[in-house]
Structure 1
């Protein structure tokens, strides 16, 4: 198995931090008191989100965190976890756009999710995952 370039550890680590922040965001949004203190737009997004979209949001961030942990462990299952996360991101972004319109944060989440999945495919082909 080929040894990864040092940038691999940086990208996988930053991806994990990004997804852990998403996990914290998800947990915060499950707390009614915390939601009540948020700006009105965020309250609207959260209150109008159906159960399936909430589940997709959780799957997106927790699946992304698991995928990045698997990347750091150099396991090829990281690709599957990051693909599941990307599909869940697409569902979440679609619902958010239909509820409140396009927001920069939704585009950023989609770009980061797609980039992490793409990167996992590259490092798999490079022989860095087992």
Structure 2
């Protein structure tokens, strides 16, 4: 196993911060009092979201956070967790786009998830993960 480049730690750390913000967003959306304080459009999106989309949202953010933690621990399982994250994000996007249309934040979430998965495969091939 080789020592990772310093950028590895920056990318994995930023990825973890991104996904932890997503986890906080998910937990906030599960709190009815917090949802009541949100703008009307957000309340509508949350109210009409079916269970499958809520589950996909949870899988996306928590798999991403676990994947980034595993990446920081230099474990190969990070790649599997980071594969689930953009896949679940894509499932969530189906419902979100049907309610409000395509938005930059939706595209960004998918791109970040895919980039973290791609980076984890590079880290695994380079020998940075065990």
Offset, 1:103: 1.2
Residue equivalent to 2:118: 118
**What stretches of structure 1 move > 6 A for 4+ residues in a row?**
none
Matches within 5 A, 1:29-40: 29-40=29-40
- CA shift at 1:120, angstroms? 0.4
**Unaligned runs of at least 5 residues, structure 2:** none
Deviating more after overlay: 70-79 vs 91-100: 91-100
The size of the alignment, in residue pairs, is: 130
User: So what's the TM-score if we normalise by structure 1?
Assistant: 0.98
Give the gaps of 5 or more residues in structure 1.
Answer: none
Between the aligned partners of 2:29 and 2:102, the Cα distance in structure 1 is 20
- What is the aligned partner in structure 1 of residue 61 from structure 2? 61
Q: CA deviation at 1:36?
A: 0.9
Please give the secondary structure, in 2, of the residue aligned with 1:74: coil
Which residue does 2:87 correspond to in 1? 87
